[in-house]
Structure 1
Amino acid sequence: MTDQLQIGFGYTDGDVDTNHSETVTLNELAERRLSRRQTLRGGSAIVAATLGGSALAACDSKVENDPSPTVSAGTAATTSSGRVVTLTGTATDNGTVGAVSWTQTGGTAVTLNGATGNTVTFMAPSVSAATTLTFQFSASDGKSVSSATTTVTVNPATLGFTAVAKNKLDVVTVPAGYTVQVINRLGDPIASGVAAYKNDGTDTNFAQRIGDHGDALYWYGLSSAGARDDNSSTRGLLVQNHENINQQYLHTAGATSSAGVRPESEALKEIECHGVSVTDASVNATGVWSVNQASSLNRRITPSTPMVFNGPAKGSDLLKTVFSPTGVAGRGTINNCANGTTPWGTALTCEENWAGYFRRSGDTAARTAKEVTALARYGVTSSTGSYGWSTVVASDSANTLFRRWDARATAGAAATTDFRNEPNQFGWVVEIDPYSPTSTPRKRTALGRMGHEGCWPGLFVVGKKPAWYMGDDSRREYLYKFVSNTAWVAADATATDRLAIGDKYMDAGTLYVAKFAADGTGTWLPLVFGQNGITASAANYAFADQADVLVNARLAADTVGATPMDRPEWTAVNPANGQVYLTLTNNNAAGRPLAGTDAANPRHYNDPNGTAQTANYGNPNGHIIRLRETGDTTEATTFTWDIYLFGAGADLDAANINISGLTGDQDFSSPDGLWFSRTTNAAGLVKPVLWVQTDDGAYTDVTNCMMLAAQPGSVADGGARTITNTGTGGATATQATRVGAAPTAATLKRFLVGPVECEITGVDTTPDGRTLFVGIQHPGEGGTPAAPSSHWPDSQATGTAGATVRPRSAVAVITKTDGGVIAL
């Protein structure tokens, strides 16, 4: 919203060209008039400078009886951080008013836009308590200057929008006062000479187009000259993951195969649609966002892009392949889900559900018992592999880009003659320098191999060892933390060899896994060879060395007794206090049976979905847990925790299911994406805004997926709670847990609802907080080429589109019509 203060002013030109008096000097006359009228009241230097000396030029004998301009500064007003304030000056006079100006005379400094006009605006600054700003409005009629003051009281930031209602529309719905643009749609060209996307299944060359299933994203600022500029909000590199594909829409009539063999052209298109995109995006003077197709900074990183391995597992026998007999190199990244970042300006992309892409079964006799155990633990068990890429007969017999997806061990062969180790090349955190389009991404093995959902940094404190927090996205998997061996040096944030700085902080350190206790405390258990039972004598797996521990981090976490969680996904760190938030998307009865709950994963109930009222037992709506490190330091090995929010429909049992007391403006299901606003604007300071995104199947009979904005409290702001869970046949069981304070209408509300069958995933803003980027993934995923079930983004303008228009994943660009900070 815009807060307006009305301030009156007018101007009379008068006779300013000639001084007719010969009895006093110009300076004497000016001094006399300024003293008599008390025009500046201590601010004479400011006004004289602003008005360019016009007060002195106004001295002539005829003006002694002329009245000065009558100026009103209006009444005092109140606003809150991050909102746009408009000051409009008015005045009366018997002639014409000339020079006018606004100046700030007290309080937290702000930038006045249009400070020499009657109307100026400014952004209310971030404050931690009510703060009064004072402003002076001055005007000259050419003979004298008059001024008046007003005050604006700024309160701490609050959520300043009306909640969006749940809906099943085929558009991105945002609050009143906001607008939506769309960029980076599936297939959009990002290189010179690449044709516009036809969206009919005939398009090719996705190595130079935006990929499918856009996921986590992050803004890296650019100067007008194209150099790194962390403060730029008008031009930057948008780095986005491309997790998966809507296979049916990529081909003319859907995917085809002949005798179980996939066509090379189709498989190549599908492979290239995965990975990461880097695009040069900017806004013009009229507020229109676009991507520069011809920018030399644009880049696609696909499953075929050369990579290198760094850290303890580099060169391990477990990473040796036909492509890299020395185990130091690899090709590509796949199923890139959530992300992370570094203060030195690099992007972290995370490989999540990579295991299913590999064909591997029936080769147990050709493998060791250890290999079989490891492959089973990571789910590399498919007899076909997702999309059947390994079946392609390449036109070039030397091309192994398709055969690599066949991970079956062959009799008499070895890791360097078949692709048995290819699955070990995935499941890592990958560091990318977005500012260097020819640089080679590095897989950081010290952070462990798993189904990495994300890798979010804790607070960087000079002299302290930094940490990154990571969820392993599968039911009954774990929360991890990597702590660097190297204490943070602030100067490294501006280094130009960014990947070398990554080597310094991310190639050596300790990987930990979380164990939650029922009393609201927890422990970080180190995953280090030789400690906590991680040895060659471990009951579940005979570890050989630290490289083996990191390649098989899940098995190491099993060994030390980590707490299995309800699908740990995104992590986010509150920039005001360093507390860590983790989304636990959901679980089912198999993953969390009635007797299998614990304090950190406490619920078991049924949330019927759809008209058939299908049994949906377990924790179908998910929750968000949060941790406070002991001593508020990333180096801690213990923590406290509680559950910040429980996902649930507003109509569900408040005592045992809707434990957070969510209303119809707040209810949600299956939290997934999670991010705190940047500290470069009011939304990320004092009480930062937390964004919660959903990837839901349990509540989609009521509403499409959504994004909420929140201002959370702190760990332990609630208390202990005991709930009663229910199972099939009416069975019940009680479970004690730790619950955060219930949200209020002022601290949690729905900001956005997406189009049909989408997931909302990926969120960031420009540094000034005035532009929000949101990933809209796989709209219409249940449709067919002949009958798409969504038509977004074509439907965004009117809510409808042609019946055969295919949907496309894309980035929604959301701005506030008054130019204020998003959500405030």
Structure 2
Amino acid sequence: MTASLRPGADSHHEDSNTSNNPSISSLIDTRLSRRGVLRMGVGTAGAAVMGSFALTACGGGGGDAAVAVDYKLGFTAVEKSLLDVVAVPSGYTANVVYALGDPLTSGTAAYKNDGTDTDFDNRAGDHHDGMEYFGLNAAGTARDANGSSRGLLVMNHEAITDQFLHAAGTTSGTRPASETDKEIPAHGVSIVEVAKNASGVFAYTQGSAYNRRITPLTPVTLSGPVKGNALVKTLYAPTGLTARGTINNCGTGYTPWGSFLTGEENWAGYFTRVSGDDTARGGATAKSVVSLKRYGRAAGATSRHGWETTGSADQYRRWNISQTGVSSDGSDDYRNELNTFGYIVEIDPYVKTAAIRKRTGLGRFAHESASFGKLTAGKPLAVYMGDDSQGEYMYKFVSTALWAPADANPSDRIATGDKYLDSGKLFVAKFAADGSGSWIELNISNSTIAGYATYAFADQADVLVNARLAADAVGATKMDRPEWCAVHPTTGEIYYTLTNNSNRKLEPTGSQFGLDAANPRSYQDAKIGGSLGAAGNINGHIVRMAEAGGESAATSFTWDVYLFGAEAGADLAKVNLSALTASQDFSSPDGLWFSRSSGFCFIQTDDGSYTDVTNCMMLIGKPGTVGDGTTATLNYTKADSSTVAVTTRVGAKPTVDTLRRFLVGPKDCEITGCSETPDGKTVFVNIQHPGETISKANIGDPSKFLSHWPANAGYGAGGTTTARPRSATVVITKNDGGVIGT
């Protein structure tokens, strides 16, 4: 979820899905006039603009606890803003708690933030993303699921703004070890203790025994059906039982037994292949070549950071996945290294010595979050996941093991994960135009998969490693970048953000995608003073699903669109189908999270389309249920003047009582990751890559920086006009001590 449509964004909207899976229908026109909208002035009326140490974040929970109180939204909506601040409603305070480079150990020096800092194995990584809060008891000696004053924040560090990590920016061509050895560990996961200080404000605890980093070099184990398979054998792990590290970690999950799940998202772009690698592997139709191309690594593809150029040492060599060895199984090179990434990874935040597991049973793709369905004793668990790339799919894993409530507080959390996550069935979603849908199992016993002409699956492990190809085979519905998913804590309905899709077209060509009921819009848009851009689903939408009979293991569902992202004032018939007002409008929904305390839905944006009007934001909503709205028919005209129509299902239009803007971030940022303390009175939110747009030529001129946050709010080295921007976690509280959003 690094970027949506911002300049320089990469693998989120690279299309590697070239299957002929049909859209639900081929129905919609691209005609739409440029924005005829009422623009709202930038201001701070009704909002508290973050000043010195004014920030906070949002945490998550797990299990099947129901919301006990029917809360109502009780804050004044924050106005749109282009200021380099974090704005929250009046009556709220936001404080920075943990930022890029903050030292985790007592012996690590304070962060200078001038590009000379090192030792990122012991510092906060970059690009804070999904996170979860895990409670501790007052003494800090054990897990306390109700601990709201002391706990652990576990968060992803998805990517890096590499120029700011080095004093003079990055070196092009051959990358020096001094830069590569900083960039690699700036990725991964942080586990950091936070606690309320004497003033009742959360701060992180430098030197806590719980603090640690998990990086792309940390040893991990492969678990589930793929473990030991020939597809994951490498020079590092010739038996295929282990792997090394995790990277491009995006969304998260909180297991019912109290462990942390992290999704490996756009990992393919970190690897390179030489131009002749197809031939070395047996030609264009060789299985490994088909697989690599489906996951976005064609021969000659360059890597994102060029780490493989640093030297011949193993930690650099692994980023070149060309076939160079002579073994039949890949155990003498890194031809299979890509197959060891793309999984949901489980971590026990409380126990440093616990194994870190890659849960291969949940499939391999560009994982965002992993959200558990409602728990019922004696029935299977369901885990919902999305594949964040244009034209990819929505997935569900259903466990073989039946849920035992005693497992909510086990003595060994990773062993409990083995029980529920290593054996089960993986499904992919197919949407129908009538508002129904089906979950199709991805299993080698399915004759459609076993006989797929494009790729010859060898076994079930092969199906899971190449889940995208298996989903192609069964005709799953291509969606508009399925990002975060979240499950409503009382209804059990499942929500997916579909961030956007510039390749969603009325008359698709090449690798573009047609229109259908679940992805019904393709329209043009323009920034202020700009010309119309190409048609597509510019602003994204949020789909929600209700399992048949409320059963997590159901194989059918009903669906509608909870919200269509749009600019207030846009065409109500073709674009602003949810009739969003100026206090509700948004673009490119990405992060999605439900509070288990209030039942509110938190919606976060990662946008490049509406940023002429406002920085990225977070809204709070009180959603209804699938089917509470109506149908809408979009009528369009094709290039040959023929008319077509597509009918979609639109949830109840939001009101001021059901959806409001709660937060707007600083310049050039993404709002992502949300969690809360169990009492619902503290929320943690991540501000990712403020001011990320910077060139090497301008790295020495702070006047060219787009952002100086959070130093301009009083946190860390630098100042309001000179500091390099930093990703950071903010903690938000209500001044009267109440539940957030009420």
% of aligned pairs identical?
Answer: 56
**Equivalence for 2:711:** 794
**Equivalence for 1:392:** 310
**Equivalence for 2:522:** 604
Q: Decide whether the 8 Å contact of 2:431 with 2:437 is kept in 1.
A: yes
Per-residue CA deviations over 1:526-581 (Å, capped at 9, x if unaligned) read 0000214111x311110000000000000000000000000000000001110000
**Equivalence for 1:426:** 341
| Equivalent in 433, 445, 453 of residue 518 of structure 1 | 433
Deviation at 1:801, TM superposition (A): 4.1
Q: Secondary structure at the match of 1:277?
A: strand
**Equivalence for 2:98:** 184
Q: How many Å separate the matches in 2 of 1:371 and 1:733?
A: 41
Q: Decide whether the 8 Å contact of 1:604 with 1:727 is kept in 2.
A: no
Q: Decide whether the 8 Å contact of 1:579 with 1:626 is kept in 2.
A: yes
Q: Decide whether the 8 Å contact of 2:504 with 2:537 is kept in 1.
A: no
Q: How many Å separate the matches in 2 of 1:739 and 1:439?
A: 45
Q: How many Å separate the matches in 2 of 1:386 and 1:209?
A: 23
**Equivalence for 1:370:** 287
Q: How many Å separate the matches in 2 of 1:371 and 1:341?
A: 34
For the structure 1 residues 193 and 524, does the alpha-carbon distance in structure 2 shift closer, same or farther, using more than 3 Å as the test? same
**Equivalence for 2:443:** 528
Q: Decide whether the 8 Å contact of 2:157 with 2:187 is kept in 1.
A: yes
Structure 1 residue runs of 5 or longer lacking an equivalent are 1-124, 129-155
Q: Decide whether the 8 Å contact of 1:621 with 1:670 is kept in 2.
A: yes
Deviation at 1:180, TM superposition (A): 1.0
Q: How many Å separate the matches in 1 of 2:149 and 2:505?
A: 46
Deviation at 1:669, TM superposition (A): 0.3
Q: How many Å separate the matches in 1 of 2:337 and 2:325?
A: 17
RMSD of Structure 2 on Structure 1 (CA): 1.8
**Equivalence for 1:658:** 576
Per-residue CA deviations over 1:600-634 (Å, capped at 9, x if unaligned) read 00001112134222414110100000000001010
Q: Secondary structure at the match of 1:254?
A: coil
* Letter aligned with residue 560 of structure 1: V
**Equivalence for 1:4:** none
**Equivalence for 1:500:** 415
Q: Secondary structure at the match of 1:405?
A: coil
Q: How many Å separate the matches in 1 of 2:639 and 2:209?
A: 59
Q: Decide whether the 8 Å contact of 1:191 with 1:294 is kept in 2.
A: yes
Q: How many Å separate the matches in 1 of 2:457 and 2:294?
A: 14
Q: Does 1:266 align with 2:174?
A: no
Which deviates more from structure 2 when the two are superposed, residues 592-601 or residues 706-715? 592-601
| Equivalent in 475, 483, 499 of residue 561 of structure 1 | 475
**Equivalence for 1:454:** 369
Q: How many Å separate the matches in 1 of 2:320 and 2:507?
A: 35
Q: Decide whether the 8 Å contact of 2:430 with 2:438 is kept in 1.
A: yes
Q: Decide whether the 8 Å contact of 1:475 with 1:591 is kept in 2.
A: no
Q: How many Å separate the matches in 2 of 1:172 and 1:696?
A: 16
Per-residue CA deviations over 1:673-708 (Å, capped at 9, x if unaligned) read 000002xx3x1xxxx200000000110111000000
| Equivalent in 116, 120, 145 of residue 206 of structure 1 | 120
Deviation at 1:747, TM superposition (A): 0.3
Q: Decide whether the 8 Å contact of 1:170 with 1:796 is kept in 2.
A: no
Q: Secondary structure at the match of 2:625?
A: coil
Q: How many Å separate the matches in 2 of 1:792 and 1:301?
A: 26
Q: How many Å separate the matches in 1 of 2:506 and 2:304?
A: 27
Q: Decide whether the 8 Å contact of 1:532 with 1:560 is kept in 2.
A: no
Deviation at 1:725, TM superposition (A): 4.3
Q: Decide whether the 8 Å contact of 2:505 with 2:515 is kept in 1.
A: no
Q: Secondary structure at the match of 1:211?
A: coil
Q: Secondary structure at the match of 1:625?
A: strand
For the structure 1 residues 192 and 593, does the alpha-carbon distance in structure 2 shift closer, same or farther, using more than 3 Å as the test? farther
Q: Does 1:625 align with 2:625?
A: no
Q: Decide whether the 8 Å contact of 1:605 with 1:726 is kept in 2.
A: no
Q: Decide whether the 8 Å contact of 1:605 with 1:727 is kept in 2.
A: no
Per-residue CA deviations over 1:379-438 (Å, capped at 9, x if unaligned) read 0235331100000126xxxx3111100001126355111110000010000000000012
For the structure 1 residues 612 and 228, does the alpha-carbon distance in structure 2 shift closer, same or farther, using more than 3 Å as the test? same
**Equivalence for 2:45:** none
Per-residue CA deviations over 1:314-351 (Å, capped at 9, x if unaligned) read 00000000010000000000000001111111000000
Q: Does 1:780 align with 2:691?
A: yes
Q: How many Å separate the matches in 2 of 1:744 and 1:479?
A: 29
Q: How many Å separate the matches in 2 of 1:167 and 1:728?
A: 38
Q: How many Å separate the matches in 1 of 2:346 and 2:673?
A: 18
**Equivalence for 1:253:** 168
| Equivalent in 803, 806, 819 of residue 724 of structure 2 | 806
Deviation at 1:803, TM superposition (A): 2.5
**Equivalence for 1:134:** none
Deviation at 1:361, TM superposition (A): 3.5
Per-residue CA deviations over 1:613-661 (Å, capped at 9, x if unaligned) read 2414110100000000001010100000000000000021011100000
Q: Does 1:163 align with 2:71?
A: no
Q: How many Å separate the matches in 2 of 1:315 and 1:615?
A: 48
Q: Decide whether the 8 Å contact of 1:582 with 1:625 is kept in 2.
A: yes
**Equivalence for 1:576:** 490
**Equivalence for 2:669:** 758
How many residue pairs match? The answer is: 659
What pairs up with 1:138-149 in 2 under 5 angstroms?
A: none
Q: Does 1:327 align with 2:245?
A: no
* Letter aligned with residue 620 of structure 2: A
Q: Decide whether the 8 Å contact of 1:339 with 1:348 is kept in 2.
A: yes
Q: How many Å separate the matches in 2 of 1:727 and 1:280?
A: 57
* Letter aligned with residue 522 of structure 1: G
What TM-score does the superposition give when structure 1 sets the normalisation length? 0.78
Q: Decide whether the 8 Å contact of 2:254 with 2:260 is kept in 1.
A: yes
**Equivalence for 1:279:** 192
Structure 2 residue runs of 5 or longer lacking an equivalent are 1-65
For the structure 1 residues 506 and 282, does the alpha-carbon distance in structure 2 shift closer, same or farther, using more than 3 Å as the test? same
**Equivalence for 1:585:** 499
For the structure 1 residues 126 and 402, does the alpha-carbon distance in structure 2 shift closer, same or farther, using more than 3 Å as the test? closer
Larger radius of gyration: 1
Q: How many Å separate the matches in 1 of 2:247 and 2:503?
A: 30
For the structure 1 residues 591 and 193, does the alpha-carbon distance in structure 2 shift closer, same or farther, using more than 3 Å as the test? farther
* Letter aligned with residue 594 of structure 2: F
Q: Secondary structure at the match of 1:485?
A: strand
Q: Decide whether the 8 Å contact of 1:608 with 1:616 is kept in 2.
A: no
Q: Decide whether the 8 Å contact of 1:338 with 1:349 is kept in 2.
A: yes
* Letter aligned with residue 356 of structure 1: G
For the structure 1 residues 738 and 281, does the alpha-carbon distance in structure 2 shift closer, same or farther, using more than 3 Å as the test? same
Using CA pairs under 8 Å that are at least 6 residues apart, name the structure with larger relative contact order, 1 or 2: 2
Deviation at 1:239, TM superposition (A): 0.4
Q: How many Å separate the matches in 1 of 2:472 and 2:532?
A: 33
Q: How many Å separate the matches in 2 of 1:600 and 1:354?
A: 27
What pairs up with 1:391-410 in 2 under 5 angstroms?
A: 391-393=309-311, 399-410=313-324
Q: Decide whether the 8 Å contact of 1:164 with 1:752 is kept in 2.
A: yes
Deviation at 1:593, TM superposition (A): 4.7
Q: Secondary structure at the match of 1:795?
A: helix
Q: How many Å separate the matches in 2 of 1:289 and 1:664?
A: 33
Q: How many Å separate the matches in 1 of 2:640 and 2:606?
A: 29
What pairs up with 1:455-474 in 2 under 5 angstroms?
A: 455-474=370-389
**Equivalence for 2:604:** 693
Q: Decide whether the 8 Å contact of 1:604 with 1:725 is kept in 2.
A: no
**Equivalence for 2:261:** 348
Q: Secondary structure at the match of 2:559?
A: strand
Q: Secondary structure at the match of 2:634?
A: strand
Q: Secondary structure at the match of 1:692?
A: strand
Q: Decide whether the 8 Å contact of 1:606 with 1:727 is kept in 2.
A: no
**Equivalence for 1:316:** 229
Q: How many Å separate the matches in 2 of 1:196 and 1:411?
A: 44
Q: Does 1:194 align with 2:108?
A: yes
